[in-house]
Amino acid sequence: MENLKIAIGADHGGVELKKVIIEYLQKKGIETQNFGTDTSESVDYPVIANKVVSAILNKTCAKGILICGTGIGMSISANRHRGIRAVVCSDTTSAKYSRLHNDANILCLGGRIIGTEAAKDIVDVWLSTEFENEERHKNRINLIEKF
């Protein structure tokens, strides 16, 4: 059966939004694997990003969600790894195209940037949109890996 589990992690800037998103996904019957942090104590976002990246690269989870204050630190950290396409989205249109054209496999959110309802909408669109799988998009994704 296809593995649809979502890896999710946050630093202290994203911990509250992470709780909201985990509960939201669980209510929808979407399985999540929580990689912390679970308190407001300061933690280093690259450490959390790395755990979610590993879960995707070793195929324990299909996709990931990373949340920090802005989403930016998480995306920079995650994108250092080959095969990872992490995107910061604060709107549903970017979320949609990041899946359609870029086959993004990690969604980064800013816990201090967007509200919880906007975040839920972004997550919904991102998780329900499939990659378009057209030649031009596949070629461009392959080129990302090449350079």
Number of shown-chain residues binding ligand RB5 (CB under 6 A): 8
Kindly state the helix (H) or strand (E) to which residue 139 belongs, with its residue range. helix 135-146
Minimum distance from residue 88 beta carbon to ligand RB5 (Å): 9
Q: Residue 40 or residue 60: which is nearer to ligand RB5 going by CB?
A: 40
Identify which of residues 44 and 134 has a Cβ nearer to ligand RB5 in the complex. 44
The strand pairing partners of 134, in sequence order, are none
Which of 9, 32, 61, 73 touches ligand RB5 (CB under 6 A)? Answer: 73
3-state DSSP assignment of residue 16:
helix
Closest residue to ligand RB5: CB criterion:
73
Whose Cβ is closer to ligand RB5: residue 42's or residue 133's? 42
Retrieve residue 120's tokens. Answer: 């839920």
**Can you tell me the distance from the alpha carbon of 10 to that of 40, in angstroms, rounded to the nearest whole number?**
10
Q: Which residues contact 86 (CB under 8 A, 6 or more apart)?
A: 64, 66, 74, 75, 78, 79, 104, 105, 106, 107, 108
Segment near ligand RB5 (CB under 6 A), from 33-41, 68-76, 84-92, 98-106?
68-76
Q: Does 72 bind ligand RB5 (CB under 6 A)?
A: yes
